[in-house]
Amino acid sequence: MLGSLMSYSPSVDSKTENTDELIATGVLASLQNFIRKCIVAVLSYGPMPKHIAFIMDGNRRYAKFRSIQEGSGHRVGFSALIASLLYCYEMGVKYITVYAFSIDNFKRDPTEVKSLMELMEEKINELLENRNVINKVNCKINFWGNLDMLSKSVRVAAEKLMATTAENTGLVFSVCMPYNSTSEIVNAVNKVCAERRDILQREDADSVANNGVYSDISVADLDRHMYSAGCPDPDIVIRTSGETRLSNFLLWQTTFSHLQNPDPLWPEFSFKHLVWAILQYQRVHPYIEQSRNLAKKQL
Amino acid sequence: MGWYIRASRIVSELGKTNLSPSPAAAAASASASARTRCDADRLTGGSAAAARPSMSRPSVIIKLILGLLWFIVHLAISLCSLWFDLIYSIECYLISFGLIPKYRKFQLDRLKHLAVVVDSREAKNVAKINQLLCWLSNVGVKYVCLYDIDGVLKKTFAPAMNGSRYGNSGKYLDVGANTKALTCCHKEMTIECISGSDGKDGIAKAASLLCSTCVNGNRNTCGNGEIVFTEADMSGALKAIGCGGPEPDLLLVYGPARCHLGFPAWRLRYTEIMHMGPLNSMKYGAIVKAFYKFSKKYQNFGKFVFSFLENRNILQ
């Protein structure tokens, strides 16, 4: 889970390196970069997903297996998230959604929840301060979920980040926190009902004949009021650490999404896992497209 | 802030290539759009074709090389997957003959409700579905919910079902009484059939029901404040319209891809989803293996999972 993050201790980068090492790492980095571009070029020949959703599971297990402090697992997870985000951008994936914090997670130990919230706030503020990274990929950040359940400082920071990136037209990065698919659906139902009520109250003044007559709520009405309105449905949903559940994540939007559950834990998720995920998607793409078109025809 | 340094490095690399998604990706998509333009030209009689500049030779060659590499990669993956499928088939046959000791006995207590999602085209094969139901009751499943998006299974099984389908929380049929469905099994198993219309459409209907309590002849039932229905209200509404069945513990997906194809959202929240492959190549051993994996999942964590399940607290 993305949630808990602590300030990262300085990495090797800040230490002084001699020139040879610098050249070696520079050459190696360029080579890695070139290989990565070749792989992306080959992959892009086939159908590429437009929207990938991640359930970032396994941060605490990662910390446990490596006998490091629990919060550090989430820190490494955050690095993995940013790296995956940028790899997806390179591949031309326009929408990325991550499951950062579930409403169910509030039931955890209060001190743990508090530390998670503090760390989330810290990371949001870091993103606000270092906006170059966001602006260079022209990233628009959304927060999906019941923001009212968050503490005031986190909510304010999140709303500020949304506001500052609202005009960006590149990558769309949606962070689900705190989120539950069922509460998203209920929220949409509430909004549609309120809309209906307002329409009828306005019509009230016009004609009495409309008394009690209104059309049923349709799937399209609910679609318009989901947090994900305007985003296409996810093509791939990846849950790391091999778990097979969806845990109340995007249940409405994943009708034709390819559900994948690779074994690596989230902090271990890297470029090669992403490439493998997309290769799997490309293999089943014809079937999913066919199913989607058949379903559309039936409507 | 190591993440920031790493991110900046990646972004500066992107910056050298004009900050657009990989140029090769752009070239591939440009060539794809050129392909569609060519198709469009052909449709319009090719009159406009002469006006379009032809693609440069190097980019055609690059495109061909990329295509060839892509094809080779996928061919290699298909061959590997064929090999693994072979090994899997052999294992399944060994399991079904009881030759692998660990699969002979396992606890199915945690599995109270099972759901099966079938691709609609494969669902037309009634013999296979019946065989699947037979196998499931053989293993000891007490409750099965069959789902397919188009409603093929509902049409196949529903005429044989008596009892009111609506008005209760999704009516089920005692298979013991339905000799048409299961002729080879002697165990009792409850079967429920649902379709895509119980998924999103069911939620929309429940929403209409809730809305009608608020916005009807008496317009000010809910006042002018915010309308606040809760998840419990939705669950109640779903039950009232007949879409409120039990939440399955395990969902088996029979089809070419691991997709839930619109299974009702309110019942899919914490369900384990396992992909079994196409229905035509279903194997008894695969079902046993899936149930074994399911039972192991809850056994290994023990007490931790128990408290886990109390809170339905899944993310770690």
The yes-or-no answer on residue A57 being catalytic is: yes
A residues 145..164 contacting B (CB < 8 A): none
pLDDT digits 0-9 by tens, B104-158? 777 788 888 999 999 999 989 999 999 999 999 888 888 999 999 998 888 888 7
Domain layout of chain A by residue ranges: 49-179+232-298, 181-226
Contact A7 B1 (CB under 8 A): yes
Q: Which residue has the tokens 């999140």?
A: A158
pLDDT tens profile A26-58: 888 899 999 999 999 999 999 999 999 999 988
Q: What is the pLDDT of residue A19?
A: 72
Across-strand partners of B192? B145
Give A260's contacts in chain B (Cβ within 8 Å). 258
- Which residue in B22, B199, B211 is closest to A90 by CB distance? B22
CA distance A26 to A258: 38
Average pLDDT over chain A, rounded to whole? 85
Domain positions in chain B are 62-105, 106-163+178-216+230-296
Contact (Cβ atoms closer than 8 angstroms) between residue A90 and residue B25: yes
The sheet with strand B190-195 has its strands ordered as B173-174, B190-195, B143-148, B114-118, B250-254, B272-277
* B87 against B26, higher pLDDT: B87
CB B260 to CB A254 under 8 A? Answer: yes
Chain center to CA of B207: 24
How open is the CA angle B169-B170-B173, to the nearest 5 degrees? 125
Look at B15 and A152; give whichever has higher pLDDT.
Answer: A152
Number of residues that make up chain B: 316
> How many Cα atoms sit within 13 Å of A104 on the Cβ side?
19
| ipTM surpasses 0.90 | no
How far apart are alpha carbons B165 and B93 in whole angstroms? 38
The residue of A2, A43, A45, A99 whose CB has the most chain B CBs within 10 angstroms, and thus the best one to mutate to test that interface, is A45
State how far the Cα of A183 lies from the Cα of B229, in Å rounded to an integer.
10
Dist CA A173 CA B43 (whole Å): 39
- Between CA A131 and CA A206 the distance in angstroms is 51
pLDDT tens readout for residues B79-113: 999 999 999 999 999 988 888 888 877 778 888 89
Predicted confidence (pLDDT) at residue A136 exceeds the cutoff of 50: yes
If we measure between CA atoms, which residue out of A268, A258, A271, A262 comes closest to residue A243? A262
pLDDT of amino acid B86:
95
| A260/B259 Cβ within 8 A | no
Q: Residue A31: closest CA among chain B residues belongs to which residue?
A: B13
Tens digits of per-residue pLDDT, B164-218?
333 333 334 433 333 334 445 556 888 889 999 889 999 999 999 988 887 764 5
- Is A185 within 8 Å of B269 (Cβ atoms)? no
Neighbouring C-alpha atoms within 13 Å toward the C-beta of A71: 16
Q: Please give the Cα distance from B55 to A201 (Å, whole number).
A: 60
pLDDT of residue B40: 44
Q: Which CATH number fits domain A49-179+232-298: 3.40.50.1370, 3.40.50.9100, 3.30.1660.40, 3.40.1180.10?
A: 3.40.1180.10
H helix intervals, A50-177? 59-65, 70-91, 110-129, 131-136, 152-165
Contact B257 A258 (CB under 8 A): yes
A260 reaches B (C-beta below 8 A):
yes
Task: Report chain B's mean pLDDT, rounded to a whole number.
Answer: 75
Distance (Å, whole) CA B252 – CA B147: 10
- The alpha carbon of residue B30 and the mean position of all alpha carbons in its chain are separated, in whole angstroms, by 33
Per-residue model confidence (pLDDT) at position A59: 87
Alpha carbons within 13 angstroms on the beta-carbon side of residue B175 total 24
Cβ contacts of B201 on chain A, cutoff 8 Å: 219
Asked if B73 lies within 8 A of A279 by C-beta distance, the reply is: yes
The pLDDT, as a whole number, for residue B67 is 94
Residues 216-245 in A contacting B (C-alpha not used; CB under 8 Å)? 216-219, 221-222, 241, 243-245
Q: Report the residue count for chain A.
A: 299
Closest partner CB to A86 (pick from B7, B226, B231): B7
Distances (CA, A) of A271 to A81, A83, A236, A278: 11, 8, 16, 11
Which residues, including other chains, have CB under 8 Å from residue B33's CB and lie 6 or more apart?
none
Pick from A90-99, A289-298, B237-246 the range whose average pLDDT is largest: A90-99
Query: Is the model more confident about A239 or about A215?
Result: A239
Is B244's pLDDT higher than 70? yes
Please tell me which residue of chain A has the smallest CA distance to B262.
A255
Q: What pLDDT is stored for residue A137 in this prediction?
A: 80
Catalytic residue among A13, A20, A57, A263: A57
Closest alpha carbon to B74 in A282, A245, A137 = A282
Angle at the Cα of B222 from the Cα atoms of B220 and B223, rounded to 5 degrees = 60
Q: Is the pLDDT of residue B29 over 60?
A: no
Token pair listed for A258: 């390819």
Q: B274 contacts in A (CB within 8 Å)?
A: 244
User: Are residues B263 and B117 in contact, defined by beta-carbon separation less than 8 angstroms?
Assistant: yes
Nearest CB among A1, A42, A57 relative to B69 is that of A42
* Fold topology of B106-163+178-216+230-296: Undecaprenyl pyrophosphate synthetase (3.40.1180)
**Beta-carbon pairs below 8 A across chains A and B:** 256
